[in-house]
Amino acid sequence: MPRLDEIQIRDPYVVDEDGCYYLFGSTDPDIWKADGIGFDAYRGVAPGVLTELEGPFPAFRPPAGFWSRRNFWAPEVHAWQGAHYLFATFLPVDGRRGTAVLRSTGGILGPYEPWSDGPVTPPEWETLDGTLHVDPAGRPWMVFCHEWQQVGDGTVEAMRLTEDLRAAASPPVTLFSASQAPWAAPLAGRAPGSYVTDGPFVYRNAAGVLKCLWSSFGPEGDYRIGEATSSGGILGDWTQAPEPVFAADGGHGMLFDGPDGTRYLAVHTPNATPRERAVFVEVVEDAAGDLRATGRVVR
């Protein structure tokens, strides 16, 4: 049974279901250039166990004739209307990279099968890292990144989804751009104004304020996680925290609660293949309701 520090994984996503912890992520050995194998998942060996895992379980393997062969990235799993749905990024054989939706009716570990007709993100856009947000009216949204490679200054976008999560139900709306964050820096060696947005995760803090974790790069080329705050709902005005939540060359974060109620930020670090591993960083809310890392890290 592998330990957390023995698993090569990027973009970790943790689900607590019935007291057991499940870990999903980008698990192909070479997610950049090699043909995609699929997505593996891991499960805590017992209820409440975080770092001792059993697996891998083959959550998704592309069927014959699947429309994508590369860039199987950033899977995350959500329970919705009696089934489990996996949002993940793929590069189509013909088309631009985007987030598609897979579905499992057999439980959280899958197998997941194609559900949307290719990516649900705009076909003419280069996008990645779609995540599910459900608004107070119970309507599903996808929050995702419009790639810096296409627009220069990467953005975080939101668009309504159909009730069955199979397609877009509205055009995307820009929430913010990467350059708005004081802690983000342009990519060295790229065209001026090239800023990355990556890995959005939308949640509400203890006071019910809508927040969005997302990743970019700092002035030393270090991968970071920062936080934005909405003045209202998902389409409200977003403001950026002045400092990153995590700045130790790791990114693509999400939040989950441990068995004792401790809140953790799941992140991969270092940001270098094949050395990346998932770590869980203890976080708390400060007096202003913003996230702060305590310095305790579970590996």
Cα–chain-centroid distance for residue 140? 16
> Listing from the earlier edge strand, what are the strands of the sheet with 223-230?
198-204, 210-217, 223-230, 238-240
> In the numeric block, which tokens belong to residue 16?
């607590």
Coil/strand/helix, residue 214:
strand
Contact indicator for 144, 121 with CB cutoff of 8 Å: yes
What pLDDT digit, counting tens, does each position of 23-32 carry?
A: 999 999 999 9
Q: Which CATH superfamily is domain 80-298 in?
A: Glycosyl hydrolase domain; family 43 (2.115.10.20)
| Every domain of the chain and the residues it spans | 80-298
Q: Band the pLDDT of 160: cuts 50, 70, 90.
A: very high
Q: Compute the residue count for the chain.
A: 299
Ramachandran region of residue 63, left (φ > 0), alpha (ψ -120 to 50) or beta? beta
Residues 6+ apart with CB under 8 A from 292: 245, 283, 284, 285, 286
Helices and strands (H, E) in the chain, number of each type: 1, 20
Distance of alpha carbon 145 from alpha carbon 94, whole angstroms: 20
For residue range 206-250, list pLDDT tens digits in order.
999 999 999 999 999 999 999 999 999 999 999 999 999 999 999
Distance CA 283, CA 298 (A): 12
This prediction's pTM: 0.98
pLDDT digits (tens, 9 = 90+) for 14-23: 999 999 999 9
